[in-house]
């Protein structure tokens, strides 16, 4: 882990979400430092540990509509106060993939998306410069047409920025969050982050544990206190 002090944020959502690709498990969390993703985290909305409302033959053999998934359309909140420095919209919300067959075919197009740049990877996204220039927060894979802020807008903690979607490099609706030391993901470096005032369910059916500040672990289910 980095020796840098983490940038402390509020959770960028309501309800319960599953943590994936946590830097508490490995750094770089996404297997690469590309586009400043060193300490990035992914969050998938869940009920219990269920990510979708439907499971049928398409789940096993084909792609699925993103509307099946609990995260799709959920509000994404500003995790800190600051100012919007970049907004990217217009990427489509593509079909979701849970089957190994569908995931394999998608993986074969990964290199092409990387060549298209940060927009193809992050999909629809917002970048917020934090107060005091403590860093730049990226909230990615937002739903097409849902972004509710413009470049230059001030934002407050908990303000709705847009809705969770399935745009960019995403196999099912989820929120990708990262902090950078500059606004341009091509040249920026990732910064570590932690979260305040959340609770975690470490095992199904178990009681929640309150965390005043920490880095959620891989496969933990978390939500605001």
How many separate domains does the chain show?
1
The answer to whether position 25 is within a domain reads yes
Tell me what pLDDT residue 83 has. 98
**Cα–Cα distance for residue pair 214/216, rounded to 1 Å:** 6
2 domain-assigned: no
pLDDT of residue 21: 97
Which segment of 117-126, 178-187, 208-217 scores lowest on mean pLDDT?
117-126
- pLDDT tens per residue, range 97-108: 987 766 666 666
Structural domain containing residue 81? 7-224
Q: What is the mean pLDDT of residues 134-156?
A: 98
Tens digit of each residue's pLDDT (9 = 90 or more) over 64-90: 999 999 999 999 999 999 999 999 999
Q: Which has the closest alpha carbon to 65: 37, 94, 101?
A: 94
pLDDT, residue 123, reads: 95
Q: How far apart are CA 26 and CA 10, in angstroms?
A: 22
Strands 75-77 and 82-88: unpaired
Whether 21 maps to a domain, the answer reads yes
CATH classification of the domain holding 146: 2.70.70.10
Whether 1 is in a domain gets the answer no
Mean pLDDT for the chain overall: 92
Say what the pLDDT of residue 54 is. 85
CB burial of residue 3 (10 Å; 0-12, 13-18, 19+) = exposed
- Mean per-residue pLDDT for 193-212? 93
Asked whether the predicted pLDDT for residue 206 surpasses 90, the reply is no
Output the pTM of the full model.
0.92
The span from the CA of 46 to the CA of 37, in Å, is: 24
pLDDT exceeds 70 at position 176: yes
């Amino acid at each position: 882990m980095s020796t840098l002090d983490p940038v402390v944020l509020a959770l960028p959502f309501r309800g319960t979400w599953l943590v994936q690709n946590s830097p508490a498990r490995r750094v770089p969390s996404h297997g690469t430092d590309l586009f400043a993703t060193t300490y990035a985290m992914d969050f998938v909305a869940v009920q219990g540990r269920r990510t979708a409302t439907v499971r049928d033959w398409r789940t096993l053999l084909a792609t699925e509509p993103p509307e099946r998934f609990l995260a799709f359309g959920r509000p994404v909140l500003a995790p800190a106060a600051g100012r919007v420095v970049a907004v990217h919209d217009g990427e489509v919300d593509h079909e979701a993939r849970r089957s190994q067959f569908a995931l394999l075919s998608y993986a074969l197009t990964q290199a092409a998306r990387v060549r298209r740049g940060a927009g193809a990877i992050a999909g629809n996204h917002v970048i917020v410069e934090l107060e005091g220039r403590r860093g730049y927060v990226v909230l990615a894979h937002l739903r097409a047409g849902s972004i509710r802020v413009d470049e230059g807008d001030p934002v407050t903690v908990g303000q709705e920025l847009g809705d969770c979607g399935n745009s960019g490099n995403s196999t099912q609706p989820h929120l990708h969050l990262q902090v950078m030391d500059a606004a341009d993901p091509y040249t920026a470096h990732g910064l570590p982050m932690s979260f305040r005032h959340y609770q975690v369910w470490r095992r199904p059916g178990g009681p929640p544990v309150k965390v005043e500040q920490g880095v959620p672990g891989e496969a933990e289910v978390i939500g605001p206190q």
